[in-house]
A = this chain, B = another copy of it.
Amino acid sequence: MGTGSLMTKLDTFFAQNSFEEPHLVIDLDKVASNFTNLISALPKATVYYAVKANPEPQILSRLKDLGSYFDTASITEIKLCLSLGIPAEYISFGNTIKKQGDISQAFELGIRSYAFDSEEELQKIARLAPGSDIYCRVLVDCAGADWPLNHKFGCSTTMAKELLLKSADLGLQPIGLSFHVGSQQTQTSQWDNALHQIQGLYKNLKEQGIELSTLNMGGGFPTAYNANVPSIAQYGEALTIALEKHFGANSPRIIIEPGRYIVGDAGVIEAEVILVSRKNAGDEKRWVYLDIGIFSGLAECLDEAIKYPVTVVGKEADTKLGPVILAGPSCDSVDILYEKFNYQLPLDLKSGDKIRIHATGAYTTTYSSIGFNGFPPLSCSCI
């Protein structure tokens, strides 16, 4: 299914349904094709969908039917998955920061796979989820990601080794390492760098009697926003070559945790122009204020990290364009979407015009504030 087909389905939906507030629509067929394309590109990998990217029940159910596993960040997400009939053995508790009560609950609910990156967390899991599979997140270098994750999570490889050795003594099952090269990672070579950094640890631990069965390579597979992004087939090839290079024929079982890649370009938000203005009569750049902003779904526009394509509904292809600053509706100056990056919109744009913000299926609905300035959170339909 190409973009043409996607647009037609969404166009039809928006033509038949009117929304007073900004609305996200997810094309479930696109979710499914992203999933199957990823499986084709990395046939040996087990896919754990990162529920946090978009936890809409219809998305989870569709992925369940396709055989997906699920990576969860909280007990709420675990309960949501279970409520949809996803078996506990298909769910991992992937947050390295877990409340004791949440570990206990997860264990009672049958969850047997946990991430950690510290001594205290390891002790908590040993005590509250005895005998479970655990994997240790390590810090790897990860240049090239639009939304980096190189800092808050993971420990050094030295510490990882000590903790995995200790975990066996604590009665847990050390199954492997995990790492994450950053969200929206556009340099396929980063996985090669990461594997280079961690492969020694697999050999080293094996010599000490611990054979790690699994390697969790996290997410990072990007959605095509504006920039040129390698195809998923190119990612698959680069990863396969890197695994062969560093592990040879003895590659562990591979887990990947895509979120953005699965749902990002399956979603389009329709929003409304509230105001078009200039600060001075002679200003070239117009300010375009939308009814959606940083606090109502587009948090990833902070520092203009993610640059979503924006189009205007019902304008001819030859409409003349001019530069704009795009901002949200709240009384907060932080609520500016794009100012440095040169967005161009029609010169005759005005209050009431409808716009589409593309590739917004990931990290939008749940990021919405519950009601900053009284504006409602982003609503969503799956079609």
Complex contact A351–B118 (CB within 8 A): no
A274 at the binding interface (Cβ < 8 Å): yes
Complex contact B274–A350 (CB within 8 A): no
Complex contact B274–A149 (CB within 8 A): no
| A124-B351 Cα distance, complex, nearest whole Å | 9
Complex contact B77–A277 (CB within 8 A): no
Q: Which of A7-51 contact B (CB under 8 A)?
A: 20, 51
Q: Shortest distance in angstroms between A265's beta carbon and chain B's nearest beta carbon? A: 20
Residue picked from A76, A148, A372, most chain B C-beta under 10 Å: A372
Q: Which residues of B contact A155 (CB under 8 A)?
A: 277-280
Q: Shortest distance in angstroms between A34's beta carbon and chain B's nearest beta carbon? A: 20
Q: Which residues of B contact A272 (CB under 8 A)?
A: 99
Of A57-65, A188-196, A221-229, A373-381, which stretch is located at the interface? A373-381
A199 at the binding interface (Cβ < 8 Å): no
Complex contact A369–B366 (CB within 8 A): yes
A72 at the binding interface (Cβ < 8 Å): yes
A85 at the binding interface (Cβ < 8 Å): no
Q: What number of A residues sit within 8 Å (CB to CB) of B?
A: 79
A302 at the binding interface (Cβ < 8 Å): yes
Complex contact B373–A73 (CB within 8 A): yes
Q: Which of A126-162 contact B (CB under 8 A)?
A: 139, 147-156, 158-159, 162
Chain A 177-213 near chain B by CB (<8 Å), digits 1 or 0? 0000000000000000000000000000000000000
| A100-B272 Cα distance, complex, nearest whole Å | 11
Of A168-176, A314-322, A325-333, which stretch is located at the interface? A325-333
| A353-B46 Cα distance, complex, nearest whole Å | 37
Instruction: Return the chain B residue nearest A352 by Cβ.
Output: B100
A236 at the binding interface (Cβ < 8 Å): no
Complex contact B118–A277 (CB within 8 A): yes
Q: Which of A71-98 contact B (CB under 8 A)?
A: 72-77, 80, 94-98
Chain A 267-299 near chain B by CB (<8 Å), digits 1 or 0? 000001011111111000001010100010001
| A291-B121 Cα distance, complex, nearest whole Å | 15
Q: Shortest distance in angstroms between A278's beta carbon and chain B's nearest beta carbon? A: 7
A-B contact sample (14 more), CB < 8 A, given A74-B374, A95-B331, A367-B369: A74-B373, A76-B375, A76-B376, A97-B275, A120-B350, A124-B351, A139-B279, A149-B333, A151-B336, A152-B336, A153-B331, A155-B277, A156-B279, A369-B369
Give 12 pairs: A residue, B residue, CB < 8 Å, sorted on A. Answer: A51-B374, A75-B374, A95-B329, A97-B274, A97-B275, A97-B289, A120-B275, A147-B333, A153-B331, A302-B302, A366-B374, A367-B369
